[in-house]
């Protein structure tokens, strides 16, 4: 399992579940169709390959949900979140229907394809939807565990898969922060694929690290328990637009006043191509970049 990508894991996890859960329906828009050839043959009618029509795909999936099925809609992030955003809002959230939306191409994973194929704002806009669950796994195995735990929970759920992964999986549970280590100077919250570089950045620093794979609903109780009633500054490290989760952190620790710093993708148009690693380096989304921000927050001398 550890050798597969999150995308491949999506194919194998869902194919396996479709064999045992007759409610599960896969709705595709010409992306990843090869991963579901077996399921399409084994379960006629439950793998629906529409063509490139993502707004129709989300509404059509809602039609399946109305009839008691559990649909999954999949495409690249801009096309499964931003283009059909209103369909997700109206047809799933407002109607009170459960379904799943799985993206590939997180933030600048597809850097060479340019801005049209990047969606660093996906989580920020989905956080505006009442009842929307947002999951950001850090490894294929974590996707597998979190999908199995939540796919049929009756809520609309977004899974943000990425080609950037952590080296080892953690024992993640839906809705729960995972405490990687404890310290006293500050708490660093690392979201999904940012964990490895956060752990490296925090070497030798007296800080807590909380690993977040469920962005919504945010684990308010978990952060309060870790940070305490008089919290030290919080550093939030996100793989999408910086500051997307600040409100969640502040609300979790209220009424205590807390300083929150965020590291993520800056809210400006990024016109470079290249690779995701090159973008990360340019934006300071590396262990060294995170350490520099952490040390500035702590007022420590970089060492």
With binding defined as CB under 8 A, does residue 254 bind another protein?
Answer: no
Closest CB to another protein among 41 and 301? 41
With binding defined as CB under 8 A, does residue 154 bind another protein?
Answer: no
CB of 31 to another protein, least distance (A): 16
Closest CB to another protein among 73 and 209? 73
CB of 96 to another protein, least distance (A): 6
Closest CB to another protein among 132 and 145? 132
Residue with tokens 């979201």: 191
Whole-angstrom CA distances from 238 to 32, 124, 140 are: 26, 11, 18
With binding defined as CB under 8 A, does residue 59 bind another protein?
Answer: yes
Closest CB to another protein among 74 and 108? 74
What is the spatial order of strands in the sheet that 260-265 belongs to? 178-181, 207-212, 186-191, 234-241, 260-265
Nearest to residue 187, comparing CAs of 148, 224, 159? 224
With binding defined as CB under 8 A, does residue 53 bind another protein?
Answer: yes
Annotate each residue in 85-124 with x if it binds another protein (CB under 8 A) or - if it does not, as one string: -xx--xx--xxx----------------------------
With binding defined as CB under 8 A, does residue 261 bind another protein?
Answer: no
Closest CB to another protein among 45 and 299? 45
With binding defined as CB under 8 A, does residue 285 bind another protein?
Answer: no
Interacting stretch for another protein, rule CB under 8 A, among 4-12, 56-64, 133-141, 204-212? 56-64
- Hey, which residues does 183 pair with through a beta bridge? none
d(CA 255, CA 241): 26
Whether the CB-CB separation of 127 and 272 falls below 8 Å is answered with no
Instruction: Determine the 3-state secondary structure of 270 from DSSP.
Output: coil
- Hey, which residues does 27 pair with through a beta bridge? 48, 73
Give me the phi and psi of 116, to 5 degrees please: -65, -20
- Hey, which residues does 261 pair with through a beta bridge? 235
With binding defined as CB under 8 A, does residue 69 bind another protein?
Answer: yes
Q: What angle do CA 157, 159, 162 make, to 5 degrees?
A: 170
CB of 66 to another protein, least distance (A): 6
Whole-angstrom CA distances from 157 to 68, 127, 147, 150, 179 are: 16, 11, 9, 8, 23
With binding defined as CB under 8 A, does residue 266 bind another protein?
Answer: no
With binding defined as CB under 8 A, does residue 296 bind another protein?
Answer: no
Annotate each residue in 8-37 with x if it binds another protein (CB under 8 A) or - if it does not, as one string: -----------------x------------
Whether the CB-CB separation of 83 and 52 falls below 8 Å is answered with no
With binding defined as CB under 8 A, does residue 79 bind another protein?
Answer: no
Distance of CA 58 to the CA centre of its chain: 19
CB of 12 to another protein, least distance (A): 22
Which burial class, exposed, middle or buried, applies to 265 when counting CB atoms under 10 A from its CB (0-12, 13-18, 19+)?
buried
Closest CB to another protein among 94 and 167? 94
Q: Which residues of this chain interact with another protein, rule CB under 8 A?
A: 25, 45-46, 48, 50-51, 53, 55-57, 59-69, 71, 86-87, 90-91, 94-96
């Amino acid at each position: 399992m550890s050798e597969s990508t999150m995308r491949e894991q999506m194919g194998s996890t869902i194919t396996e579940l479709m064999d045992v859960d007759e409610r599960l329906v896969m709705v595709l828009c010409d992306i990843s169709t090869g991963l579901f050839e077996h399921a399409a043959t084994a379960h006629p009618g439950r793998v629906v390959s529409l063509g490139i029509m993502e707004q129709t795909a989300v509404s059509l999936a809602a039609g399946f949900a109305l009839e008691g099925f559990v649909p999954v809609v999949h495409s690249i992030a801009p096309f499964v979140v931003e283009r059909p955003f209103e369909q997700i809002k109206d047809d799933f959230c407002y109607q009170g229907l459960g379904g799943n939306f799985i993206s590939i191409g997180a933030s600048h994973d597809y850097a060479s394809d340019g801005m049209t194929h990047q969606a660093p704002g996906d989580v920020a806009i989905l956080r505006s939807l009442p009842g929307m669950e947002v999951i950001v796994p850090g490894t294929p195995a974590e996707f597998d565990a979190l999908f199995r735990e939540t796919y049929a929970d009756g809520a609309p759920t977004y899974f943000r898969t990425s080609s950037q992964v952590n080296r080892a999986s953690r024992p993640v549970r839906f809705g729960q922060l995972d405490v990687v280590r404890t310290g006293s100077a500050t708490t660093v919250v690392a979201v999904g694929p940012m964990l490895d570089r956060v752990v490296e950045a925090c070497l030798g620093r007296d800080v807590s690290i909380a690993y977040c794979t469920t962005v919504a609903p945010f684990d308010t109780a978990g952060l309060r328990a870790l940070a305490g009633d008089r919290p030290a500054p919080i550093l939030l490290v996100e793989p999408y637009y910086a500051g997307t989760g600040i409100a969640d952190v502040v609300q979790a620790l209220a009424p205590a006043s807390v300083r929150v710093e965020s590291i993520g993708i800056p809210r400006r148009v990024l016109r470079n191509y290249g690779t995701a690693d090159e973008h990360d380096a340019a934006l300071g989304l590396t262990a060294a970049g995170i350490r520099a921000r952490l040390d500035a927050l702590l007022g420590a001398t970089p060492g």
